[in-house]
């Protein structure tokens, strides 16, 4: 049992490190006129960790990455950026993880990633209206005016790309980490 816990913590630590490297090296704007919205792949290792170890571990991984990203990669965004990242990515990971834990198949993975993505997209609307307005000082109407042309499309693209990347990489990462079964008792689904 102790060996399994150590192995899980090492794997989660590696995934957190990869997530930080991805957000540091791979980030670029994708919506013209909204260069402050930068795509990054940091959610992919978090979602893989969620699929490997379950939704609560995915949520804890999100917390660790959010804090480390705030302190080491983007300190200018402050605690507001860390909190928004934790809530947004955490909602994606939690919903996707809960669904995938019940249906560990390729179809279950697709449904879980779509549901998690839709949850994150929906969460980013109130998060921007509350935190971008209340703590970053952007006028409320400016945020409302950016929802349809920038914020929502950005989050649709980001969650879609990260969901597809997670779907394509999950099985390979599980093999690299030599995980043949999930700790919760279900096998890692075979490619069909």
Q: What is the pLDDT of residues 47-105, one digit of tens each?
A: 999 999 999 999 999 999 999 999 999 888 889 999 999 999 999 999 999 999 999 99
The answer to whether position 189 is within a domain reads no
The answer to whether position 186 is within a domain reads no
The answer to whether position 188 is within a domain reads no
Range of the domain at 145: 2-26+42-176
Structural domain total, the chain: 1
Give dist(CA 42, CA 103) in Å, integer.
25
Per-residue confidence at 1, pLDDT binned at 50, 70, 90? confident
Query: What is the pLDDT, as a whole number, of residue 179?
Result: 62
- Beta-bridge partner residues of 27: 40
Query: What is the pLDDT, as a whole number, of residue 182?
Result: 47
State mean pLDDT over 165-190: 72
CATH number at residue 116: 1.10.1760.20
Query: What is the pLDDT, as a whole number, of residue 45?
Result: 98
Give dist(CA 64, CA 118) in Å, integer.
23
Q: Please count the other Cβ atoms lying within 10 Å of the Cβ belonging to residue 142.
A: 10
Q: What is the pLDDT of residues 44-59, one digit of tens each?
A: 999 999 999 999 999 9
Say whether pLDDT at 192 is over 60.
no
Q: What is the pLDDT of residues 106-125, one digit of tens each?
A: 999 999 999 999 999 999 99
State mean pLDDT over 137-144: 94
For residue 137 the two structure tokens come to: 């000082």
The answer to whether position 13 is within a domain reads yes
pTM above 0.85, yes or no: yes
- Which percentage of the chain shows pLDDT scores above 90? 81
The answer to whether position 157 is within a domain reads yes
- Which percentage of the chain shows pLDDT scores above 70? 93
Phi and psi at residue 147, to the nearest 5°:
-60, -60
Contact 153, 31 (CB under 8 A): yes
The answer to whether position 167 is within a domain reads yes
By mean pLDDT, which of 1-5, 70-74, 106-110, 150-154 is the weakest? 1-5
The answer to whether position 145 is within a domain reads yes
Contact 165, 41 (CB under 8 A): yes
**Contacts of residue 85, Cβ cutoff 8 Å, sequence gap at least 6:** 62, 65, 66, 69, 70
The answer to whether position 182 is within a domain reads no
């Amino acid at each position: 049992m102790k060996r399994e816990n150590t192995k899980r913590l090492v794997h989660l630590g590696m995934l957190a490190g990869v997530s930080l490297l991805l957000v540091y090296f791979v980030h670029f704007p994708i919506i013209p006129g909204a260069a402050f919205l930068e795509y990054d792949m940091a959610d992919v290792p978090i979602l893989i960790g969620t699929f490997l170890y379950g939704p609560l571990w995915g949520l804890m991984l999100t917390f660790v990455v959010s804090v480390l990203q705030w302190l080491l990669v983007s300190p200018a965004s402050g605690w507001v950026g860390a909190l928004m990242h934790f809530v947004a990515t955490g909602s994606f990971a939690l919903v996707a993880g809960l669904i995938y834990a019940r249906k560990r198949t390729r179809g279950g993975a697709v449904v879980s990633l779509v549901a998690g993505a839709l949850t994150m997209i929906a969460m980013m609307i109130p998060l921007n209206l509350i935190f971008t307005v209340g703590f970053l000082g952007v006028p409320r109407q400016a945020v409302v005016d950016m929802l349809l042309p920038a914020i929502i499309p950005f989050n649709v693209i980001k969650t879609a790309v990260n969901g597809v990347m997670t779907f394509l990489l999950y099985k390979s990462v599980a093999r690299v980490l030599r995980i043949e079964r999930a700790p919760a008792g279900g096998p890692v689904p075979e490619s069909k």
